[in-house]
Each structure stands twice: as C-alpha cells, then as structure tokens.
Structure 1
Amino acid sequence: MSRYKLVRWAVVLGMALVVSLAHAQDRGFITIASTTSTENSGLFESIIPQFEDETGIEVRVVAVGTGQALRIGCNGDADAVLVHAPAAEQQFIDDGCGVDRREIMYNDFVVIGPGSDPAGVADADSATEAFGIIADAEAPFASRGDDSGTHKKELGIWSEAGVDPSGSWYRELGSGMGAALNTAAGMDAYIMADRGTWISFDNRQNLEILFEGDPILFNQYGSVLVNPEAHDVKHDLAMVWHDWLVSEQGQAAIGAYRLRGQQLFTPNAE
C-alpha cells in the first residue's frame, strides 16, 4: 500500500474515532420537572453543566410550581421531578406515579415585607404569629396561589394560625416565585419566599426579610424518579441524574453554589 493510501486511511480512521467518541459522550437527554425556585435561584444554571460534562446526558428542565411538576411527572411527560413538598412527593409515589424519593438539599422560607413593616411582623415570636398579625391588620399579602411547594407551605401556616385568608388584602397571583416577588415589591406587600430565590432577587425596592428562623419554615427538596412501570420514560438516564445528585460530586456542586457571598442550598443526601 502506498504512503498516500496509508495516510488517507489514517485520516479516515482518525475521523471515525472522533465521531465514535462524540457519540459515546452524547447519551441523549432527560426531562426534569422542577420548581421555579431551582431556576430563579440560578442553581440549575450552575450544577447542570457540571452533570452534563461528567455524564454526556443533556438535562432539559420544565420549571413550574411543585403541584404542576408532579402532575407533569404523573402524566409521563418528565423522567424525574425535583420539588419541595414532601407530603405531596409521598402521595406522588403512593399514587404509582413515582419511585425512589431521595432528599437532596434544603434551605428555608422567609417572611418578607416593606421595611417600614406597617403590620409589625418583625415583633412576632413565630411564623404563625407573623401570619396572624398580617391577617389582623389586613395588610397586603401576595400569595403565589399556584399549588407550588411555597404555596402549600404558606397555606399550612395560615391553617396553623387559624386564619382562612380572604378579602382584598390577600392577593392570589398564580405565578412563580420571581414574578410573585416582583408583584409584592410593586405593591409594598408581605410575601413568603424561599431564601434561595430571595438571595438572587434583584428588584427588592422596599422589601426586606422581616421574619425568619422558625423551624416551621424549613424547606426540604427531594428528587423522585417517574415510575418506569407506569410510563415509557428514560429511566436509566434519569437514574444517572438521580444518583449524581446524591453523589459526592453532586452534593459538592450544590453546596458550592453561592450568590452575593451566601450559600443558597445546603446539601443533605442521606
């Protein structure tokens, strides 16, 4: 075989090897139904590229409220969910929609309002007392009103406070966390938000954290796989994501994400 032919075959084989390696690295994509807080906070923008680089699996995120994310998963339109409403996540599993829930990370909720604090929320001794003070004053309160994990938690606190919120002071917005904070800023209203989204939120205007630290405001996030026996999902690829979130690399990536010098989520995989 002539030298020219040898060189040509070497080039062809080299190109074939490059193509083969590219295909080996590109393993397809998965769809994750998750909450607006994981997107609004910038967490996914930070950790997903790391996962994709390590595994060759593309992650496509549908960011909605937790209730809607779970419905998307139950319809088989996602391969896994990452949400923050443990009771609803367990119901998702009990209904046959999901399998293998894992606790991934946590942060907390905070009660936010105008710095002038016209209702006196900052004097409260508990979150339920803070909510009761807002209701008694009929101070404007912006509720997400979207069946999200944040909305579910908010409704639970109103219930603990013995309040059925209604009237012109209580505004149900039906929007994500960032949009709801924008509305609250424009209204000078009280609102409850997850700390991660609040840290990343720029349009604060007169808003400040007025109450925090009550154990009832604890905010746990969980990853659940969509049940492969119920739907034709990419279970094997989703399992790689699921495992990575609780791995040393995934937990380190979550814990390393900071904004304005603050850690937004604390990893807590068991």
Structure 2
Amino acid sequence: MEYRRRELLGASAAGIAASVAGCLGSDGGDGEEGSIAGEELALATTTSTYDTGLLDELNQAFQERFGTPVAANAQGTGKAIRSARDGNADVILVHARSQEDEFMREGYGVNRRDLMFNDFVVVGPSDDPAGVGDTDQATAAFEAIADAQAGFKSRGDDSGTHTKELVIWSEAGAEPGGEWYEETGSGMGNTLTIASESEAYTLADRGTFLSRQDSVDLEILLQGPIEGGPELLANPYGIMAVNPEIHSGVNYQLAMAYIGFFTSPDGQELIADYTANGQQLFYPEALSEDPDFQQYVPEGWQPDSSNASDE
C-alpha cells in the first residue's frame, strides 16, 4: 500500500533543536527529552527490517523518545526507493548500495549514513543435492545449483536481496532460468517458506533466516563474511533523507531526527542488542574508530576538478 502524504504541521526551530538534542542523548538542559509530537514520519524500507521484527523495535523506541509515530512501508528496496523518488517518504532505510548511489546521484537522496550490516547466506535442503556445502564461494555455489538444475527460489522483486542475487549470477557467468528457477515476487519471509515447502535453494539475508529458521526446513549451506564466508555476500544497510529541494512536502527535519537517533550511541545499541533465537541479527556500523567518509556520497564519486580553485 502506498503512502498518503500528510499535511505537514511544521516544527519550530526550537522543537527541531530539541529533537536533535534528544537524538544525541541530551536532555536539552531542562531535564526533558526533545519532542516533535504531532508530526508523523513516513519511512520507506526493505522487508528484512520488518520480517525480523527489528523495524517495530526501532520505531517504538523512536516514538517513545519523541512522541512521534512512524508510518512505515516495508517493501523490496527497489520499490522503497521508487516510493521515495515519488515524494512518498521522508527517509529510506535500504540495502542495495548501487540503487542507493543512483538515488543520490539523481539528487533525490541526501545525508546518507551507514547504519548497520549483516550478510547473505545460501540456504537449502539438508540433503543438498547440488553440493553447495562443498563450495566456498558464492559464484561456485550458484554454478553448482545451475549445473544440477536444482530448484532455486528467487525473490524476483527488485529488492536488495534480489539485486545481490543477480550480481552473483552475473559473476558466476550462469544464466538462471527454466523449470528449476522460479521468481516468487515475494518478501524474504515468504520466499523462505516457499523454498522450504519445495525443497529448494534460495539466497537470504542472515537476519531474516535466523528469525524464521524454526519455521522452515532449510539449512545454511554457504556462510557470508560474518562467519568467514566470501565478501561478495556482505549486506550493508544505509539510511538517508529525501531531498527537500526535490520534494518540498517531505519532512526533512523529522527525517534527520530519525537518522540522528539511529546513528547515535543509543540507536546503535538498540541494533546491536536485537536478537532472535538467541542470535544477533544486525551489527551496528554508524560508529567507527576508522570512519568511512565515502559513505556520504555515491561510491567512486570524486570532486569535479574543473570546479576546483586554482589558488
């Protein structure tokens, strides 16, 4: 369901200053948390944040801090970005860097921050007919599945997971298709269920798989980098505000309060402490002893030398 854009009530400069102070854990000097009550944040995000339960945890914490509800729309990353591109979100939280970079290059997104990460895993039936468990690279795992024409369930929904899957097929030099390959057009949780019922393989983000593993008959057959697997299976998440110069109706101040809260020590601790089945699902990435300044701009971006000063 698409968002309905709100009539923005408008926050005063003092209210916004108080909200940012609240993001950083300050009490504003009078012992009261900053409040932006009466506003509503429109968030476009990926299904993995919803399927794992993390989204409800984060948004509840934000609302408790600021008295501000979050209208969240969890879709595949591609749909979430298109929704924001149309001005139907104030902030996006997604996990497909190539699509995020395009969104930024075209001017729709501003103030991107690395937020958290987990990784992707290749999961499948315990008898592993394609021998994925004998491989140590994602490309080799996909080649084995294609060679065996073993069942593979793709999300097929332009999500971050689907984007990563297509990258792996491309690097493997394999062309998925035929009766063994099916696009579900569904979120990660439903795709795992379909793969389990049909004894097929799929690519899953670790967080969603761990949160659903008790309800599906699938095993991790190839680990991602968190457990020493290939770096190709890394799964970073970014958060950014929608550019108010493109869409004047977005609530930029509220978007930045949300970004500020979840990149603050308090927000990062919430992410680190969130578990399912006793296992950590996401790893905070906003705080680092060795900051990655490239996170703020599209990967590979360099200043235009023609605009540089000759002085």
**TM-score (structure 2 length as normaliser):** 0.78
Residue by residue over 1:41-68, the C-alpha shift from the partner in whole angstroms, topping out at 9 and shown as x without a partner, is 0101212111111122211110000000
In 2, Cα distance between equivalents of 1:263 and 1:92: 30
The question of 1:227 aligning with 2:227 is answered no
Residue by residue over 1:164-194, the C-alpha shift from the partner in whole angstroms, topping out at 9 and shown as x without a partner, is 1111101011111011111101110000000
Q: Which residue of 1 aligns with 2:197?
A: 186
In 2, Cα distance between equivalents of 1:152 and 1:25: 36
Q: Which residue of 2 aligns with 1:15?
A: none
Alpha-carbon contact 1:185-1:204 (below 8 Å) kept: no
User: For 1:121-140, what aligned pairs fall within 5 Å after superposition?
Assistant: 121-140=132-151
1:27 to partner: Cα distance: 3.4
Structure 1 runs (4+) greater than 3 angstroms displaced: 202-205
Q: For the pair shown, which has the larger CA radius of gyration, 1 or 2?
A: 1
The question of 1:208 aligning with 2:219 is answered yes
Q: Which residue of 2 aligns with 1:266?
A: 283
In 2, Cα distance between equivalents of 1:152 and 1:122: 23
**Structure 2 counterpart of 1:76, which letter?**
G
Q: Which residue of 2 aligns with 1:158?
A: 169
Alpha-carbon contact 1:182-1:203 (below 8 Å) kept: no
**Structure 2 counterpart of 1:33, which letter?**
A
In 1, Cα distance between equivalents of 2:36 and 2:166: 45
Q: Relative to structure 1, is the Cα distance of residues 197 and 205 closer, same or farther in structure 2, using a 3 angstrom cutoff?
A: closer
In 2, Cα distance between equivalents of 1:253 and 1:266: 10
**TM-score (structure 1 length as normaliser):** 0.89
In 2, Cα distance between equivalents of 1:27 and 1:195: 36
Task: Say which of 28, 50, 55 aligns to 2:61.
Answer: 50
Q: Which residue of 2 aligns with 1:218?
A: 234
The question of 1:241 aligning with 2:258 is answered yes
Give the match's secondary structure for 2:142. helix
Task: Say which of 111, 115, 119 aligns to 2:130.
Answer: 119
Give the match's secondary structure for 1:128. helix
Tell me which protein shows more helix as a share of its residues.
Answer: 1
Indicate the percent of aligned positions where both proteins have the same amino acid.
50
Give the match's secondary structure for 2:74. strand
1:221 to partner: Cα distance: 0.1
The question of 1:27 aligning with 2:44 is answered no
In 1, Cα distance between equivalents of 2:145 and 2:169: 10
Alpha-carbon contact 2:193-2:216 (below 8 Å) kept: no
**Structure 2 counterpart of 1:98, which letter?**
G
Q: Which residue of 1 aligns with 2:85?
A: 74
The number of residue pairs the alignment matches comes to: 248
Q: Which residue of 1 aligns with 2:304?
A: none
Residue by residue over 1:197-219, the C-alpha shift from the partner in whole angstroms, topping out at 9 and shown as x without a partner, is 00111564431111112111000
Task: Say which of 101, 113, 124 aligns to 1:102.
Answer: 113
1:26 to partner: Cα distance: 2.0
Residue segments in structure 1 that go unaligned for 5+ positions in a row: 1-20
Tell me which protein shows more strand as a share of its residues.
Answer: 1
Q: Relative to structure 1, is the Cα distance of residues 168 and 43 closer, same or farther in structure 2, using a 3 angstrom cutoff?
A: same
Alpha-carbon contact 1:178-1:201 (below 8 Å) kept: yes
Alpha-carbon contact 2:192-2:216 (below 8 Å) kept: no
Q: Which residue of 2 aligns with 1:84?
A: 95
Residue segments in structure 2 that go unaligned for 5+ positions in a row: 1-31, 224-228, 288-311
Q: CA RMSD in A?
A: 1.3
My pick for the range that moved more, 204-213 or 158-167, is: 204-213
In 1, Cα distance between equivalents of 2:145 and 2:215: 20
**Structure 2 counterpart of 1:217, which letter?**
L
**Structure 2 counterpart of 1:222, which letter?**
G
In 2, Cα distance between equivalents of 1:136 and 1:153: 20
**Structure 1 counterpart of 2:240, which letter?**
V
